[in-house]
Amino acid sequence: LEGELESIRGAGTWKSERVIASRQGPHLRLAGGGAGILNFCANNYLGLSSHPEVIRAGVETLEQFGAGLSSVRFICGTQSIHKDLEEKIAHFHQREDAILYASCFDANAGLFEALLTPEDAVLSDELNHASIIDGIRLCKANKYRYKHMDMQDLEAKLQEAQKHRLRLVATDGAFSMDGDIAPLREICRLAEKYEALVFIDECHATGFLGPSGRGTDELLGVMDKVTIINSTLGKALGGAAGGYTTGPKPLVDLLRQRSRPYLFSNSLPPAVVGCASKALDLLMESNAIAQSMAAKTQRFRSKMTAAGFTISGQDHPICPVMLGDARLASVMADDMLSRGIYVIGFSYPVVPKGKARIRVQISAVHSDEDIDRCVEAFTEVGQKHGALP
């Protein structure tokens, strides 16, 4: 193992973890010092991870329903709060039913194998999240991989897949490395033409994309055309943990019978259920938080572009600052931290060679001053390292 570990270090792909000594939020304290760090790299898009009402709901649910169920759902692990949350999720997405998992990774691991047989086909965007790729690996359906958001290639693969019993197109709604959004209107049009179902992973969309934060399908006006949604409770919806599938009732019924991560893993802890349930209530009451995040995203993107940086993606709070060179991304991210701004550089193999970047993530709880401080620091660091003229 030492040799293997050394080769990871040697390849420059070693991932180290900074230890946080405070709650998740826009301002962090790092273990061993480092107070007042401005945080721009969490998926806490709406700032609900440390929202007082979300925390209170978690504490109250913990007190009323206990620490955990010591059981899977179908043995003796289903409480009223689990049923209520599933109903709330289905209502939020305007779908028939929903089923909870310990994570969206599990939801993705449990979907394809339960739904698809060797007579079926799954068509997957080449840049889909690792958990979709792993979920697809577990199923026995015929596998087609289409070029990232390339509708010509998807159409060609759909034509090839006509010989199979059922076709399922699988895509991230919003892609986390680039902040780009799947062309769902076109995907749904092709799916209709070739009689395919559409599945989207909405981890980086649920709660904030679309006029009322329902996600990519709402943003692009195809809520009635996307059949299956998987998403997480671990990002915008309170940030604790948990995932789900929402869609047609017979599909959810089937998953309760067949989906292995659901059948063979413990029920979601009550505190987690309480937090997520409150996060959904807050979003259904008002879309003010999501709008505030959108305005801040706009502020960051336009100021950074004016400063001379290239920001990838479309109006998404994932704002990749494109730098190209892996070393440049790494030294700039370190220099940003020395100025009190926590951002992360990504390079090959996480992103393609020559496309290194620093990924910035905006949250509703960043203030305008936080955003401006981040842009100023980027400008100074960019000039110092020759990334800006």
Q: Should residue 176 be labelled a site residue for ligand PLP when binding is judged by CB under 6 A?
A: yes
Q: Should residue 105 be labelled a site residue for ligand PLP when binding is judged by CB under 6 A?
A: yes
Other C-beta atoms within 10 Å of 201: how many?
32
Nearer to ligand PLP, 42 or 55 (CB): 42
Q: Which of 82, 164, 235, 366 is catalytic?
A: 235
CB 131 within 8 A of CB 105: yes
Q: Which residue number is nearest to ligand PLP in terms of Cβ?
A: 103
Stretch that binds ligand PLP, among 150-158, 162-170, 199-207, 310-318 (CB under 6 A): 199-207
Q: How far is the CB of 82 from ligand PLP (least distance, A)?
A: 16
Question: For residue 256, what are the contacts with CB-CB under 8 A and spacing of at least 6?
Answer: 73, 74, 99, 262
301/319 Cα distance (integer angstroms): 7
CA dihedral 226, 231, 233, 234 (to 10 degrees): -150
Question: For residue 6, what are the contacts with CB-CB under 8 A and spacing of at least 6?
Answer: none
Q: How far is the CB of 140 from ligand PLP (least distance, A)?
A: 22
Q: Should residue 135 be labelled a site residue for ligand PLP when binding is judged by CB under 6 A?
A: no
Stretch that binds ligand PLP, among 22-30, 100-108, 135-143, 254-262 (CB under 6 A): 100-108
CB 164 within 8 A of CB 173: no
Q: Should residue 217 be labelled a site residue for ligand PLP when binding is judged by CB under 6 A?
A: no
Q: Which of 204, 278, 355, 366 is catalytic?
A: 204
Q: Which of 129, 157, 278, 301 binds ligand PLP (CB under 6 A)?
A: 129
Nearer to ligand PLP, 280 or 371 (CB): 280
Q: How far is the CB of 288 from ligand PLP (least distance, A)?
A: 25
Active site residue 27: no
Nearer to ligand PLP, 255 or 375 (CB): 255
Q: Which of 201, 217, 218, 370 binds ligand PLP (CB under 6 A)?
A: 201
Site residues for ligand PLP, 108-127, by CB under 6 A, read 108
Q: How far is the CB of 301 from ligand PLP (least distance, A)?
A: 21
Size of the site for ligand PLP (CB under 6 A): 14
Q: Which of 49, 131, 245, 379 binds ligand PLP (CB under 6 A)?
A: 131
Stretch that binds ligand PLP, among 31-39, 119-127, 200-208, 253-261 (CB under 6 A): 200-208
Q: What is the CA radius of gyration of the chain?
A: 21
Q: Which of 81, 104, 158, 198 binds ligand PLP (CB under 6 A)?
A: 104
Torsional sign, CA 65, 66, 68, 72: negative
Active site residue 204: yes
Nearer to ligand PLP, 358 or 381 (CB): 358
Site residues for ligand PLP, 231-270, by CB under 6 A, read 232, 234, 243
277/285 Cα distance (integer angstroms): 12
Residue 124 burial (C-beta neighbours within 10 Å; 0-12, 13-18, 19+): buried
Nearer to ligand PLP, 214 or 303 (CB): 214
Residues that bind ligand PLP (CB under 6 A): 103-105, 108, 129, 131, 172, 176, 201, 203-204, 232, 234, 243
Which residues are catalytic, by number? 176, 204, 235
